[in-house]
Amino acid sequence: MARVKNPKYLVKLWNTYHVVMKIPPTLQKYFPHEHDGPNRKKGDCKRKFSASLNTGNLELAEVRSGPFITQFKAMIMAAKDQESPTQDFDFDKAFAKAKATFEAFVSNQIAASEVAMQLDPDEAKSPAELRERIEVYATVTKKGVSTKAYVDEWRKQCGYREKNADEAERFLRKHFCPKFPIFELIKPMDLRLWIEDQLQGRNGYKVASRETVKKKVGWINSYWAYCEGQYTEAPCLTYGSIPKAKKTKTSAVQRSYHPYTMDEYYQLLEQTDKQNRGRGDPVMKDLIIVAAHTGCRLNELCNMTLNNVGDDWLQVADSKTKSGIRKIPIHKDIQQLIERLKQTSLDAVDNYLFSELTAGNKYHDRGAPISKRFSRLKDKLCFGGSYGFHSFRSTLSNLFETAGVNETFATRIIGHKIDTMTYGLYSEDIPWDKKVEAMAKVSYKPKGWPIKRLDD
């Protein structure tokens, strides 16, 4: 007859089952034999834990072994922490360990007790750590779902660009999850008050614009929708949680970038010549001139490749909106500048129109360094937060309006969305000759033209 193998940790000696667990050699030094033990073993270290279960019945032995196994594992884990102590409570590791422990037991009651011993609240070093231990216990034992438990899993499939995904993950971990640790315990009123705190700058938050708060709530929506039905039955409460804004002239002005006047445009160009202790910033100067004559966003220009540059046109192939993908006539006043940029790029064996820009950062973002440089440039001229590189789009829009260009034509060139049913939904792009004609009506020439680059 085949011999039946005993379950793990169970050993039968003289018709009596014992629970036996070996101690890792590196941890044996923490378990010396007791003073009341055999004299021959005093001073030596234990190599294993053992206890008699006082039964020869296997089924009864398995039941009785549970508490001993739990105790022995806890003692070994305590020794491991003493051997290489961890300074901070690692939520992800604790969650993975507790989940594995819970799934290892048939009985949920015994499993919950085992998890509770692992996450002993008395070992918490701070109120924040205590809250995290409770979160892990609630999620693993199905008595609540921690909002922190599935952030990593959601991030891998969220579909955001890497930079936006990082920003979303930081916000969830740093702000949302600590404030609302358990999905099932989130109350609509508490959530709305928290959102209002961010809008009003209360309880330690800086005042944030509605667009910023709306973006953050969108991250919560995405994460909660991912967890809902899969890990939690708590319905998403963030939909409609942002109070409606009062439409006023002041708020409308605050939400948009102010256009640069003609004089301010030239002040910016003159300041580029003074940058870098008088050596100038010719790349910045070129970007400003091209942006002012095309209405392109900064990233659209920084990422524009030579195959999207023709003899008399620029093609925006990738934009933040569908309307931003467009073909723009090259203004006659910057045709020589564009040709020089093309030749410089070819000489440098580079595929980008602005070949002197680099992407030496985590996200390979060619526009990030130049964006910071422009912010420093405009700050020297005391432009406020309502001005930015985006303001050149507003400047060109104003020039189109002053020159009497049809609004739809200007909108197509700049890359704004058309909201009307007829033109916005059914109409496609306008004829090329109309774009060229519209572009020819605007000019920055009235003062100090031509503008030359320092090394020309």
pLDDT of residue 195: 92
Q: Is residue 134 one of the residues assigned to a domain? A: yes
pLDDT of residue 152: 93
Same domain, 341 and 429: yes
Mean pLDDT along residues 418-444: 74
102/165: higher pLDDT: 165
Same domain, 370 and 393: yes
pLDDT band at residue 426 under the 50/70/90 scheme: very low
What would the two tokens of residue 425 be? Answer: 């939904």
pLDDT of residue 38: 58
What residues make up the domain containing 68?
A: 10-140
Q: Is the pLDDT of residue 197 over 70?
A: yes
Same domain, 116 and 194: no
* Three-state secondary structure of 2-35: CCCCCCCCEEEECCEEEEEEECCHHHHHHCECCC
Same domain, 382 and 308: yes
Provide the whole-model pTM: 0.58
Same domain, 315 and 210: no
pLDDT of residue 428: 63
Q: Tell me, what CATH number does 423's domain have?
A: 1.10.443.10
423/399: higher pLDDT: 399
Mean pLDDT along residues 125-152: 82
What would the two tokens of residue 302 be? Answer: 């920084």
pLDDT in tens, 251-297: 444 457 889 998 999 999 999 999 888 889 999 999 999 999 999 99
Q: Is residue 351 one of the residues assigned to a domain? A: yes
Q: How many domains does the chain have?
A: 3
260/359: higher pLDDT: 260
Which segments of 47-187 does DSSP mark as H helices, in order?
58-83, 91-104, 108-118, 127-140, 151-157, 162-171, 177-179
Mean pLDDT along residues 311-336: 88
